[in-house]
Structure 1
Amino acid sequence: MSPVLKTERLVLRAPRPEDLDRCAELLGDYEVAKMLSRVTYPYDLEQGRAYLALSVERWSTWQEAEELGFQIDCDGLMIGGVGFKKLRETPEIGYWLGRAYWGKGYMSEAVQAAVAWLFGNTDHKLVACEAMTDNPASLGVARKLGFREVGEVGCASVSRGCTMPAIRTEMTRTDFLNGH
């Protein structure tokens, strides 16, 4: 069974097929899509439908999953997502919010809860986060939560059709548990 994480203002839950229209609405904004590696612009409904179906399936055997995602709800409305990829290696966290929800502290709250879930439910000792250099808000979330910059990388952007310069940050389990 997939977990439901509750924070002061948010609920993080497993994706559902009925999230498709809301995903299309929020991820159909180029200002959101351009900061993500795997989201097309314009948003592709069939890819979205397949991704949501796969996300539901992954939670049924989450201990074996390579990727896991949470949808972020605020006041009963989906406002974004946070997820982990490379769960068989060093997990990488990624996150996004609909533009109307930027600048309200929601993402710091959601990422904190997701990382707590990761370290509380797996034996990983490290989590990484990569954000494009032209995305200071995402980099700020990582730094605020205690991720440390470890280098420059390239981040593929499907919506832009190129690889963008990005910063890789990492946080250890120990730093997280010690409040970084």
Structure 2
Amino acid sequence: MSTKLRTLADYWPIFGLRLASPRLVLAPLQDADLPETLDLILAGIHDRASMPFAMPWTDVPPDELVAGALRHYWSTRASATPQRWTVPFLVRRQGVAVGLQDLSGTDFAVTRTVHTGSWLGRAHQGQGLGTEMRSAVVQFAFDHLKAERADSAAFSDNPTSLAVSRKLGYRADGTAVVQRRPGERAVEQRLTLDRASFVRPGWMVQVRGLPACQAFFGT
């Protein structure tokens, strides 16, 4: 008589969640995905001459970048609670990892607000994938988690991210002045989107595995 082996998703159900759009599959990042994720990061996320992100992707040696990324993803998982959670979704196209799409919430049961952040490997940029993966998690948040608001942010000199937000219906929600690199001043544009203003694509996100991990989101 055989006994079915349990998987990690049996104990940490968020690992069984899947979102699918026409070209992409989004799944919570697991340790088995980390080598591909690190390869994407090391291959480059943006031009070294610019710094469109708060994360210093190009300003530290590769070994420090790898160590910092691993600590970040492990600590994000370890610190997740129903009151404060982040899901880093690894995004794949035809089985190939192309980037990461974060979805996070704080006191979500009360605020009904999520925040998104993302990056794409340089080889996969300029193909509309950033818009598709953001649209997938926003649809998931509005239609399946019953969020009322989705927030995002981008530096004022990151036109690609800002263009994605415009396409999906976000409106400006103030700015903040921050230090991006040592001694460098940068303006962060905050953005917000409500359910009624969301510019929906001509497809619906497909969701699998949510009932088992509903408690993760504090709902």
TM-score under structure 2 normalisation?
Answer: 0.68
2:67 to 35, 43, 46: 46
**What residue in structure 2 maps to residue 83 of structure 1?**
102
Residue 22 to residue 179, structure 1, CA distance change in 2 (3 Å) = closer
Residue 30 to residue 72, structure 1, CA distance change in 2 (3 Å) = closer
**What residue in structure 2 maps to residue 122 of structure 1?**
145
**What residue in structure 1 maps to residue 3 of structure 2?**
none
**What residue in structure 2 maps to residue 135 of structure 1?**
158
Residue 37 to residue 7, structure 1, CA distance change in 2 (3 Å) = same
Q: Name the structure, 1 or 2, with higher relative contact order (CA <8 Å, separation 6+).
A: 2
For 1:30 and 1:77, the matched residues in 2 are separated by 16
For 1:78 and 1:125, the matched residues in 2 are separated by 30
Determine whether 1:98 maps to 2:115. Answer: no
For 1:133 and 1:65, the matched residues in 2 are separated by 27
Report the alpha carbon displacement of residue 49 of structure 1 after superposing the two structures with TM: 2.0
Q: Percent identity?
A: 24
Which runs of 5 or more structure 1 residues have no equivalent in the other structure? none
Report the more deviating stretch, 117-126 or 134-143: 117-126
SS of equivalent residue, structure 2 residue 46: helix
**What residue in structure 1 maps to residue 91 of structure 2?**
72
Greater Rg over alpha carbons, structure: 2
SS of equivalent residue, structure 1 residue 78: strand
For 1:12 and 1:39, the matched residues in 2 are separated by 25
Determine whether 1:9 maps to 2:23. Answer: yes
**Contact 1:71/1:80 (CA < 8 Å) preserved in 2?**
yes
TM-score under structure 1 normalisation?
Answer: 0.81
For 1:173 and 1:32, the matched residues in 2 are separated by 34
Q: CA RMSD in A?
A: 2.7
Q: Aligned residues, how many? A: 175
**What residue in structure 1 maps to residue 168 of structure 2?**
145
SS of equivalent residue, structure 2 residue 85: coil
Report the more deviating stretch, 84-93 or 109-118: 84-93
For 2:172 and 2:106, the matched residues in 1 are separated by 20
The code of the aligned residue for 1:17 comes to: D
**What residue in structure 2 maps to residue 37 of structure 1?**
54
Residue 78 to residue 21, structure 1, CA distance change in 2 (3 Å) = same
